[in-house]
């Protein structure tokens, strides 16, 4: 049975999960892409080119709006958060969970990654998940119960504020497609460093199709500014996994 949420006294009121401006723009992007494909298949090249131009413009607008108004992915859209088995396996291998470890996921979505990783820290370890939206935590709990996983612990809180955990709590922290949604990613990375043990691992996944995409160069600059040391980059420019570590000296300085 998944434990009840632990709510920190400083946790903010969860956001209602309303659609963001860039979600609307991304909806226009996907509709235009599908329309362009249909137009080209039916040999309406001029219409296809117009729709392709609309798609390019909508995607650009969504990325500008994402940077200007960073906010959590709305819970009402969580059914579209589908992570193929290969992607889940790649992230789990990059996190490298070990028996007995305590691992934190920030922004679990529907819990697919947490349920993938949790069995690998048994019998004594656990995976904590943190989200500002209760709906996301409920979805994660339901997935864990359905999978027979009982070592996923849900926590409600704001990743851009002080995390509701003591210093040096976790062996690893990971987040996928979440960093660009945070209003203050630099502070969030600093908090991740604080709650990691010396030599703890940070794993960040980013996909280019996501309007909240964070470029690797920007990610590395922010992570190193927060006290992390770059370890390894996996994947491709379109979807990458970047791993960082906390050294004993940087952990002590925080």
Q: Is the domain covering 6-11+77-253 a CATH 3.40.430.10 domain? A: no
Q: What pLDDT digit, counting tens, does each position of 142-186 carry?
A: 999 999 999 999 999 999 899 999 999 999 999 999 999 999 999
Beta strands (DSSP E) in 71-110 are: 102-106
Where do the structural domains in the chain lie, given as residue ranges?
A: 6-11+77-253, 21-68
Residues near 38 by beta carbon (within 8 Å), at least 6 away in sequence: none
**Reported confidence tier of residue 17, pLDDT bands at 50, 70, 90:** low
Q: What pLDDT digit, counting tens, does each position of 31-67 carry?
A: 999 999 999 999 999 999 999 999 999 999 999 999 9
CB neighbour burial string for 213-235, b if at least 16 within 10 angstroms, e if fewer: bbeeeebbebbeebbbeeeeeeb
Cβ pair 101, 121 in contact under 8 A? yes
The structure's pTM equals 0.86
The mean pLDDT of the chain is 89
Query: Of 172, 167, 168, which is closest to residue 243 (Cα–Cα)?
Result: 172
Q: What pLDDT digit, counting tens, does each position of 172-230 carry?
A: 999 999 999 999 999 999 999 999 999 999 999 999 989 999 999 999 999 999 999 99
């Amino acid at each position: 049975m998944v434990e009840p949420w632990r709510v920190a006294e400083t946790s903010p009121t969860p956001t209602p999960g309303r659609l963001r401006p860039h979600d609307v723009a991304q909806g226009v992007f996907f509709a235009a892409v599908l329309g362009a494909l249909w137009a080209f298949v039916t040999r309406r090249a001029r219409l296809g080119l117009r729709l392709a131009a609309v798609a390019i413009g909508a995607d650009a607008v969504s990325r500008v709006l994402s940077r200007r108004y960073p906010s959590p992915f709305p819970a009402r859209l969580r059914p579209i958060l589908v992570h193929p088995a290969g992607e889940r396996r790649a992230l789990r291998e990059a996190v490298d969970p070990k028996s007995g470890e305590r691992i934190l996921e920030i922004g679990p979505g529907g819990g697919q990654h947490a349920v993938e990783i949790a069995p690998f820290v048994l019998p004594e370890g656990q995976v904590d998940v943190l989200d500002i939206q209760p709906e996301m935590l409920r979805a994660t709990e339901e997935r864990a119960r359905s999978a027979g996983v009982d070592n996923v612990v849900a926590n409600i809180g704001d990743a851009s504020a002080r995390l509701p955990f003591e210093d040096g709590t976790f062996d690893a922290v990971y987040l996928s497609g979440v960093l660009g949604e945070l209003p203050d990613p630099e502070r969030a990375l600093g908090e991740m460093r604080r709650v990691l043990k010396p030599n703890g691992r940070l794993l960040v996944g980013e996909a280019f199709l996501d309007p909240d995409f964070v470029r690797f160069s920007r990610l590395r600059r922010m992570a190193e500014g927060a006290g992390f040391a770059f370890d390894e980059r996996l994947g491709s420019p379109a979807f990458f996994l970047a791993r960082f570590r906390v050294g004993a000296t940087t952990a002590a300085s925080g």
